[in-house]
Amino acid sequence: MSQAQHLWILDDDPSIRWVLHKAFERSGYQVQVFERADELTRALDSEVPDTIISDIRMPGTDGLALLKQIKQRDPDLPIVIMTAHSDLDTAVSAFKGGAFEYLAKPFDIEEARNVVAKAMAHRSKPEVSVSAQQANNDIIGESAPMQDVFRAIGRLSASSVSVLITGETGTGKERVARALHKHSPRSDKPFIALNMAAIPADLVESELFGHERGAFTGADKKRDGRFLQADGGTLFLDEIGDMPLSVQTRLLRVLAEGQFYPVGAHQPVQVNVRVIAATHRDLKEAVAHNEFREDLYHRLNVIQLRLPALRERKQDIPLLARYFLKQSAIELEVSEKQLSDAALEQLEAYGWPGNVRQLENVCRWLTVMAPAQQVSPDELPHELLEQSDQLENGQSTGNWRELLAHELRTQTHNHDNMTPIIQDVERIALRIALEKCDGHKQKAAHWLGWGRNTLTRKLKLLSK
């Protein structure tokens, strides 16, 4: 840096202040640290830094209140929020308040450096402060992949742009769609969900666009379709990859023109609807096989939001399990079951092909069927125990390669090529390496036999 850029750090924890102070001084910044928000606001009366990093929960004025105060003074000043309470509401509140970025503790120093560098580069660009309805949070997660999802929802909170949510079955695509709606300017308007895979192909058109009386056999009265029901709000089209090609053409026209003809109608109906679509399929592959319209794909894929599989966010399993056990107990009006440490380890070791939905169902099953208040491993459902037995047998006999080969053969039935499977294997290897090396990327790269640039490229590729 030809001229040192000014960075202010606010945190009531002296150890965090010290670590960040030293790290950013070594990076060439002129750093000033503060213990209390009122100290920082007084300092703002005489000078303004290039970027501020602030904790969110402190005695006196908290980080969100400070964020609001500073944005009233200087809307262009980038503020990075740090928090140990990394949930969706916190992320959305931070972005709604105008935060440039937020860092979930504990974070990697290199990650913090990258965020600050971006903030400094965008010093002259104002962040948009938006107004949206705060919703109850039922998206649970503290893992890095879920923090990326929370950030995306926060950044999209001011927008009505189309979003394509991708991810395996059971990853929570509808919950994310509802969160996008609830934190959007359309939050006081309808949210209508429709699963394309659950509707017979010959009824999809009528379901979406409605019909006039007498439009076809059995249409004895006029019926509004889902587009009209969602007018002003959001229409969530789940499993969009299963939509018939003939209906894809009509959907494309609605997205382009904002109007449609109900089945049997002669006058168009105007609508203002945000469309959020979701799929577990590879739509690019469907386009290549002429199973999905390319122009519709590009129209829907303005923003793509990928949801991680549960096996990619195993750190969240204890949190999710406790949440689902609590919810099941409330719903069924019984006492809440607790997982023993050994049972929890069993859940974390399982592969979860059905993802979060499967874990939720397991917790509901345990609430009803587990005989004791504290659940032991042998009281878990059989499919979890069977996989554990296979793994133990494979490890004890040295047959882990056979188990891996069997799993790869099983997975290839769902794919036309090995690319996504190889990416999953690399993703797992990368996660294990980072865990083994305590998050130190250079050591992880060496342990994997990769160069530093290769690891950085893989991190970027595999996080998509």
158-184 mean pLDDT: 92
Q: Which of 67-81, 118-132, 285-299 has the lowest mean pLDDT?
A: 118-132
pLDDT of the residue at 214: 65
Q: Which of 183-197, 302-316, 367-381, 408-422 has the lowest mean pLDDT?
A: 408-422
Query: Does the structure show a pLDDT above 70 at 171?
Result: yes
Query: pLDDT grade, residue 308 (50/70/90)?
Result: very high
Query: Does the structure show a pLDDT above 50 at 462?
Result: yes
pLDDT of the residue at 409: 65
Q: Where in the chain is the domain with CATH 1.10.10?
A: 417-464
Q: Where in the chain is the domain with CATH 3.40.50.300?
A: 159-306
| Cα–Cα distance for residue pair 81/64, rounded to 1 Å | 8
Class of domain 417-464: mainly alpha
Q: Options 3.40.50.300, 3.40.50.150, 3.90.190.20, 3.40.50.2300; which CATH number does 6-141 get?
A: 3.40.50.2300
250-258 mean pLDDT: 91
169-191 mean pLDDT: 92
Query: pLDDT grade, residue 135 (50/70/90)?
Result: very low
Which of 386 and 100 is assigned the larger pLDDT?
Answer: 100
Query: pLDDT grade, residue 437 (50/70/90)?
Result: confident
- Neighbour-count burial of 386, counting CB atoms closer than 10 A to its CB (0-12 exposed, 13-18 middle, 19+ buried): exposed
Query: Does the structure show a pLDDT above 50 at 109?
Result: yes
Instruction: Answer for the pair 47, 29: CB distance below 8 angstroms, yes or no.
Output: no
Counting residues of the chain whose pLDDT is more than 90, the rounded percentage is: 36
Comparing C-alpha atoms, which of 367, 290, 381 is closest to residue 332? 367
- Neighbour-count burial of 325, counting CB atoms closer than 10 A to its CB (0-12 exposed, 13-18 middle, 19+ buried): buried
Cα angle 38, 44, 47; round to 5 = 150
pLDDT of the residue at 138: 64
pTM for the whole structure: 0.61
Does a cis peptide bond (omega within 30 degrees of 0) precede residue 200?
A: no
The dihedral through the CA atoms of 235, 238, 244, 249 has a sign that is: positive
pLDDT, the chain, mean:
83
Query: Does the structure show a pLDDT above 70 at 410?
Result: no
Comparing C-alpha atoms, which of 96, 25, 18 is closest to residue 7? 25
Secondary structure (3-state) at 332: helix
CATH 1.10.8.60 fits 311-413, yes or no: yes
Query: Residue 98: which region, alpha, beta or left (left: phi > 0; alpha: psi -120 to 50)?
Result: left
pLDDT tens by residue, 229-253: 999 999 999 999 999 998 999 999 9
| Cα–Cα distance for residue pair 148/163, rounded to 1 Å | 15
Query: pLDDT grade, residue 127 (50/70/90)?
Result: very low
Query: Does the structure show a pLDDT above 60 at 273?
Result: yes
**CATH numeric code, 159-306:** 3.40.50.300
pLDDT of the residue at 162: 92
Which of 217 and 269 is assigned the larger pLDDT?
Answer: 269
330-357 mean pLDDT: 90
| Cα–Cα distance for residue pair 104/149, rounded to 1 Å | 13
pLDDT of the residue at 163: 95
Cα angle 226, 354, 300; round to 5 = 35
The dihedral through the CA atoms of 374, 380, 384, 387 has a sign that is: positive
| Cα–Cα distance for residue pair 84/79, rounded to 1 Å | 17
pLDDT of the residue at 383: 78
pLDDT of the residue at 396: 42
281-291 mean pLDDT: 91
- Cα→Cα distances 355→119, 310, 313, 347, Å: 35, 5, 10, 12
- Cα→Cα distances 196→187, 241, 306, Å: 23, 8, 19
Chain mean position to CA 21: 31
